[in-house]
Every structure is written in C-alpha cells, then in structure tokens.
C-alpha cells in the first residue's frame, strides 16, 4: 500500500493579537473569539466523525525534549488502540506493549527512519488489545521541521485496516482453494473472445495445455495448434456454436502436447452477453479427462474379462453336463419317435383308430416342444452376451437348471429335493447368470457327495422369503463337508478342492450374486455336508 501524501502542518496558533484595548474592540474580539471557538469545535467534531468513518486516527509526537512526548492522540486513536480517553494520553511503553512483538522492530525502524532521514514512512503492523483482539493498522509518518531544518515533531495517521485485511485474506484463500480445486479436478477455466483468442486462463488450464504461465497468455493460434488435428474442426464448430447461436456448447476432444502426450479433455463454453444480447466473451471450463477415460477403459476391460471368465465357467460346466444334457434332449426325442411310430400304426391298421393317432400326434408336439425348450436353455446358458435384468420367479429359474442336471444326478445316485416356497416373491435378475450360480452350486454339491456310500446322497434346494426384502435360496448336500479353513477360502479365485476344477465357479458365482445386490456364503452343517446360501433383493426393492 502506497503512502498517503504528506499531511500539511497543523495550522499554527501563533498569530495576530489585538493591542487596541477599547471596550468595543474587546467586545468584538470576544464575539469573534466565541464564534471562532464554535467553529473550531464544529471542525473538531467533523474531523472526529471523518476519522471514525474512515477508521483513521491521527497522532503527533513532540521531539524537542529529551524524550519524545506524545502531544496529540485523536479520539479515533483511543478507539483503535483500545485506550480509555479518561486515562489520558497513553505512555510510550503502553503503546509499545500493544504492538505485536513480531512487528515491533519494523515499527521502530520506520519511526527512526522518519526522524533521522527526515522522510515520510509507512508501515502495516498488528496490535493486540487487552482483550486479545488483533487489529491490522496502516500507519503514515511525516516529520515536521523547524526553520533550521531540525525535526521538531512527528505527525502521523493510523488506519484500522483489519476489515480490509480480512477480506484480502479471504480472497487470497478462496483463490488458493480455487486453484487447488482446479488442480484436483483437472479443471481449467478460460475466458476467450469470439475468435477463440484467450482473455484469461487459469493456472490449471496452462498446465493442461502445457503452457508456462510465466510466458503470459498464449496467442490465439497457440492453443489451437495443440488440439488434435482430427478434432480441430469439431472444436471450431463448437466454439462457433457458442458464439453464433449464443448457447452453451460442449465437446470432448484431444490435445497433443509438444512431447507427443495426448490428453482427452472435455470443454464447456458459455457465451456472456451484454444487455443488448451481444456477445462479449466466452467463459468456460476445460477438464482433463485422460485419467478418467483410462480408468473407464480399464474398468470396461475388467468387466469384459469377468464376463469372459463367467462365460468360460458356464461353457465348462455345460461341458461337464454334456452327457446329462444329451439325455435330457434324448428323452423327449425318444418320446417323439415312439409316438410317431405309434401314430402311423394307429392310422394304417385294418380299422384305423383316429383318436389314438390324434393323441399320439399331440404327444409328438408336446415332446418336440420339450426338447426345443431344453435346447433353448442350453443356448441361453452358453451365450456370451449379457441378458437384461428382468422380473424372475426364482423357483422357475432353479427348476430349469434342475431339468438339465436331472440325469447327471440320477446317474450319480443323488436324490434332488426341491423345497420351494409357494408364494415366493419375484426377484430382479439376469436369468442366465443366476442359473449359472445355481448350476455351480448344484454341480459342487453332486461332486461333494460322489464318494459318499454310507448314507443317502441328498441334495435339498430350498427357497423362501426372508426379512429385509430379500429372497433366499439354500443348496444343502450330504457330502464330505468343508472344514473351517476351506470354507474361508472357497470363494477365492482359483481355489479348488477338485482335481479337475478351475477354482472359478464359486468366485464367479459370488461376483454374480453381489452384482445383483445379494450375498452368497457357505456354512458347515451339524451333520455331514455343506450348506450354500444366497440372497437376492425382491423385485422392486
């Protein structure tokens, strides 16, 4: 802050004195004196008001004695420094004590400079009042010289700039926050004219475009040169849209830095118009989305990988089930062939039996459809593409899996008991994925019972509504069971207890259930065997 121009000397009081002593003259003099006194009082009042309004106090030191003597300390000074005018003028020591120790040397330095070098000085310093309040003061000092050129007085003003200082600090802080936020969010701000020439660029925007803020604003074409050639036309079109159509315009484009680095950015421009609706400038943001793009790509890659693995798991389980599936298709086909033969026989008998033939033919239709359904299920389960979430009857979903697995269970002498709740709430899910989960659990259960000879090989599948808007399915076997250590690990990738297992089935199943907003967990049974549970949110939950 610059110094206020030196204040003029206080009006000198050494002036004319009447030496005519007529009564009239004396009376006049008294009147004039009274009027002057009034006026002076008035002026003093105005000055005090002005000082209070501008938070400016004035002071004067007499330097003619051995020690500097405070001779003037305005009312506003008392208020600023927190001294009570009733106590009289503060002492030098009292004043020094109120100055914040860190700033005291500075103040003394300024004082001495004004006195010894006879120049105006100014300082910003802090004072601390008795109650702990800290104030920022701006002080101007002006030495008053006598005819001999000696400093006789030091006159000055002190302005309470606490408020301004606070606003400045707040502004500085908010600017710092803004810069920090821009850095964090990789968001730069720009203001440009209609031709794209920069009028203002935030620090972050310099960083994004790879320019040095020290070199000043780039020229109009400099940023354009850094836009990927394939995207430049689109950029210009987007800018033109903001300028000509006077609408917000956004664009994803690439910039290429001199070192070859390519960045993906997202720009948004907003036209600023004057009262006549004419474009003044374009204000906007440019966000560096390179990292986000990369993360998105990575997520997509992982998602694809997971989908591939899930597909491999499904196909490999279906491979294990090939014989069972062949059987499930063969059964209805067998029915078709027998009924077909029978139908022909009923028709070609000496006395054709049309009713028997009709019944046989309708069974052909039924069995043919049944075979087609099995094939459709296999096709759905081996498909790679994701099916949409839909409202599902979990019982039906599980039943379809059991239709594929029935023969395998039979050959492994496993008795499957389906204990389905009658009024099970529908769930929301991907039919194929959920069938994959059931398939994995049931196959594991059958496998777990393959070495059991001393008790029935029983597989119990239960469904029921549970609390908190969930539907729960339980797959329980009477197999060899799992120890606690194994139960803790079975959901890990590539963990398997089977000689030919990939160790993916359960981890994939758990991912699927979790993606549906449910849980999949295993528990040991009191008796031999293991229980697998999974929950799914009810439809609409």
Partner 1 sequence: MAKSQEFDAVIAIVDDDPSVREGLESLIRSAGWRAETFASALEFLARPRAEPPSCLILDLQLPGLSGLDLQKRMAEVELEIPIVFLTGHGNIPSSVQAMKAGAVEFLTKPVEEEELLHAIEEAVERDRHSRQQHAEMRELRDRYESLTAREQQVMQQVVSGLLNKQIAGELNISEYTVKIHRAHVMSKMYADSLADLVRMAESLGIRLHKRSAE
- Least distance to partner 1, CB of residue 252, Å: 59
Q: How many CB atoms lie within 10 A of CB 479?
A: 24
- Least distance to partner 1, CB of residue 405, Å: 13
Residues 133-172 within binding reach of partner 1 (CB under 8 A): none
Nearer to partner 1, 374 or 504 (CB): 374
- Least distance to partner 1, CB of residue 327, Å: 4
For tokens 């004319």, the residue is: 16
- Least distance to partner 1, CB of residue 342, Å: 4
Residues 289-348 within binding reach of partner 1 (CB under 8 A): 323, 326-327, 330-339, 341-343, 345-346
The CA distance from 414 to 398, in Å, is 17
The CA distance from 109 to 121, in Å, is 10
- Least distance to partner 1, CB of residue 418, Å: 14
- Least distance to partner 1, CB of residue 330, Å: 5
Nearer to partner 1, 325 or 432 (CB): 325
Nearer to partner 1, 294 or 411 (CB): 411
For tokens 């320019």, the residue is: 211
Compute φ and ψ for 535, nearest 5 degrees: -115, 155
The CA distance from 520 to 532, in Å, is 7
Residues 244-263 within binding reach of partner 1 (CB under 8 A): none
The 395-434 site mask, x for binding partner 1 (CB under 8 A), equals: ------------x--xx---x-------------------
- Least distance to partner 1, CB of residue 354, Å: 13
Strand order in the sheet with 519-524: 415-420, 458-466, 470-477, 530-537, 519-524
Compute φ and ψ for 64, nearest 5 degrees: -80, -25
The CA distance from 467 to 178, in Å, is 48
Pick from 368, 164, 190: which is nearest to 286 by CA? 190
- Least distance to partner 1, CB of residue 461, Å: 16
The β-bridge relationship of strands 187-192 and 279-288 is: antiparallel
- Least distance to partner 1, CB of residue 441, Å: 21
Nearer to partner 1, 139 or 339 (CB): 339
Q: CA angle, 18 as apex, 12 and 20 as ends, to 5°?
A: 175
Per the CB < 8 A criterion, the answer to whether 362 and 405 are in contact is: no
Residue 91 in the binding site for partner 1 (CB under 8 A): no
Pick from 427, 424, 423, 406: which is nearest to 415 by CA? 406
Q: Per CB under 8 A, which region of 138-146, 214-222, 359-367, 440-448 contacts partner 1?
A: 359-367
Question: Dihedral (C-alpha) 315, 317, 323, 327: value to the nearest 10 degrees?
Answer: -90
SS3 for 184?
Answer: helix
Nearer to partner 1, 340 or 481 (CB): 340
Q: H helices of 200-260, where?
A: 203-209, 221-225, 229-240
Q: Per CB under 8 A, which region of 105-113, 191-199, 365-373, 504-512 contacts partner 1?
A: 365-373
Strand partners, 200: 191
Nearer to partner 1, 330 or 462 (CB): 330
Nearer to partner 1, 363 or 538 (CB): 363
Per the CB < 8 A criterion, the answer to whether 516 and 430 are in contact is: yes
Nearer to partner 1, 334 or 387 (CB): 334
Nearer to partner 1, 226 or 408 (CB): 408
Residues 441-500 within binding reach of partner 1 (CB under 8 A): none
- Least distance to partner 1, CB of residue 438, Å: 20
The CA distance from 358 to 340, in Å, is 11
- Least distance to partner 1, CB of residue 532, Å: 23
The CA distance from 208 to 205, in Å, is 5
- Least distance to partner 1, CB of residue 376, Å: 17
Number of H helices, E strands in the chain: 15, 17
Residue 280 in the binding site for partner 1 (CB under 8 A): no
Q: Per CB under 8 A, which region of 164-172, 259-267, 361-369, 419-427 contacts partner 1?
A: 361-369
Per the CB < 8 A criterion, the answer to whether 328 and 374 are in contact is: yes
Nearer to partner 1, 75 or 373 (CB): 373
Compute φ and ψ for 297, nearest 5 degrees: -65, -45
Ramachandran class of 494: left when φ > 0, alpha when ψ lies in -120 to 50, beta otherwise: left
Tokens (6 digits) for 452: 């059991």
Applying CB under 8 A, what is the total number of residues that bind partner 1?
A: 31
Nearer to partner 1, 358 or 419 (CB): 358
Nearer to partner 1, 4 or 333 (CB): 333
Which positions touch partner 1 (CB under 8 A)?
Answer: 323, 326-327, 330-339, 341-343, 345-346, 349, 353, 356, 359-360, 363, 366-367, 370, 407, 410-411, 415
């Amino acid at each position: 802050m610059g110094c206020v121009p030196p204040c003029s000397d206080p009006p000198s009081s050494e002036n004319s004195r009447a030496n005519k002593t007529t009564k009239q003259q004396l009376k006049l003099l008294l009147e004039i004196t009274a009027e002057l006194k009034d006026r002076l009082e008035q002026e003093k009042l105005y000055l005090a008001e002005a000082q209070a309004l501008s938070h400016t106090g004035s002071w004067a030191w007499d330097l003619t004695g051995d020690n500097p003597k405070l001779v003037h300390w305005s009312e506003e000074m008392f208020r600023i420094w927190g001294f009570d005018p009733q106590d009289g003028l503060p002492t030098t020591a009292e004043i020094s004590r109120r100055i914040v120790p860190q700033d005291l040397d500075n103040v003394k330095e300024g004082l001495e400079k004004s006195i010894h070098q006879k120049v105006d000085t100014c300082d910003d310093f802090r004072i601390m009042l008795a109650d702990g309040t800290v104030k920022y003061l701006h002080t101007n000092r002006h030495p008053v010289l006598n005819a001999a050129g000696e400093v006789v007085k030091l006159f000055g003003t002190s302005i309470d700039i606490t408020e301004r200082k606070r606003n400045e600090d707040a502004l500085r802080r908010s600017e710092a926050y803004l810069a920090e936020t821009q850095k964090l969010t990789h968001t730069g701000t720009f203001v440009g004219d209609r031709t794209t020439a920069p009028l203002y660029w935030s620090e972050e925007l310099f960083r994004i475009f790879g320019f040095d803020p020290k070199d000043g604003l780039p020229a109009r074409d400099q940023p354009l040169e850094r836009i990927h050639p394939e995207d430049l036309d689109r950029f210009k079109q987007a800018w033109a849209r903001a300028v000509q159509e006077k609408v917000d315009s956004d664009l994803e484009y690439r910039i290429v830095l001199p070192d070859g680095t390519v960045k993906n950015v997202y720009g948004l421009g907003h036209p600023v118009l004057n009262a006549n609706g004419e474009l003044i400038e374009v204000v906007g943001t440019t966000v560096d989305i390179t990292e986000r793009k990369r993360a998105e790509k990575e997520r997509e890659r992982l998602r694809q990988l997971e989908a591939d693995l899930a597909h491999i798991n499904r196909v490999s389980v279906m491979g294990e089930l090939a014989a069972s599936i062949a059987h499930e298709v063969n059964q209805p086909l067998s029915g078709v062939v027998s009924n077909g033969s029978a139908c022909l026989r009923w028709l070609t008998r000496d006395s054709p039996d049309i009713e028997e033939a009709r019944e046989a033919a309708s069974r052909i239709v039924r069995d043919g459809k049944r075979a087609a359904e099995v094939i459709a299920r296999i096709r759905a389960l081996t498909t790679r593409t994701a099916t949409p979430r839909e409202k599902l009857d979990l019982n039906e979903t599980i039943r379809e899996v059991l239709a594929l697995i029935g023969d395998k269970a039979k050959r492994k002498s496993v008795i499957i008991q389906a204990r389905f709740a009658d009024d099970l709430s529908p769930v929301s899910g991907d039919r194929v994925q959920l069938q994959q989960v059931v398939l994995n659990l049931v196959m594991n259960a059958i496998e777990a019972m393959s070495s059991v000879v001393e008790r029935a090989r029983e597989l119990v599948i239960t469904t029921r509504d549970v609390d908190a808007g969930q539907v729960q399915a339980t797959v329980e076997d009477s197999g060899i069971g799992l120890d606690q250590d194994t139960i803790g690990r079975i959901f890990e990738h590539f963990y398997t207890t089977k000689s030919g297992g990939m160790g993916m089935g359960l981890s994939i199943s758990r991912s699927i259930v979790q993606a549906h907003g449910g849980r999949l967990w295993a528990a040991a049974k009191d008796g031999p065997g293991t229980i697998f549970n999974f929950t799914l949110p009810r439809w609409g939950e």
